[in-house]
Amino acid sequence: MPVFNAMETIVINLFDEFQKNYEMKCICNKCKEDMLALVLNNIPPRYTSSEKGQLFIKGLYINPQLQSDVMRELMEAANIVEHHQQHQVES
């Protein structure tokens, strides 16, 4: 793939951080994917070539403004997913 959206990598990485600080009601794959999709729809994509990718991602990743934007979106996505779960959770 010649170009990809660097935000995907960043959102997935920050999701792991988010999970450590926020107790989600459900952490199944469906809820996780729903959250990632919501966040990626709300955050402008940052396309990069696969050649420059790693450095580009690193540069974005250490940007505190971007980090707090993604964290805020994750928080909102968690709220939405928790209140609109399409599936029954077995417990």
Return the number of other C-beta atoms located less than 10 Å from residue 13's C-beta.
13
**26-to-13, 35, 69 alpha-carbon distances in Å:** 19, 11, 23
Whole-angstrom distance, CA of residue 31 vs CA of residue 42: 17
- If one asks whether residue 39 binds Zn ion (CB under 5 A), the answer comes out as no
- If one asks whether residue 26 binds Zn ion (CB under 5 A), the answer comes out as yes
- Tell me how far, at minimum, the Cβ of 33 lies from Zn ion, in Å: 10
- Candidate ranges 2-10, 22-30, 42-50, 62-70; the one touching Zn ion (CB under 5 A): 22-30
- Tell me how far, at minimum, the Cβ of 18 lies from Zn ion, in Å: 16
- If one asks whether residue 24 binds Zn ion (CB under 5 A), the answer comes out as no
Q: List interacting residues with Zn ion (CB under 5 A).
A: 26, 28, 31
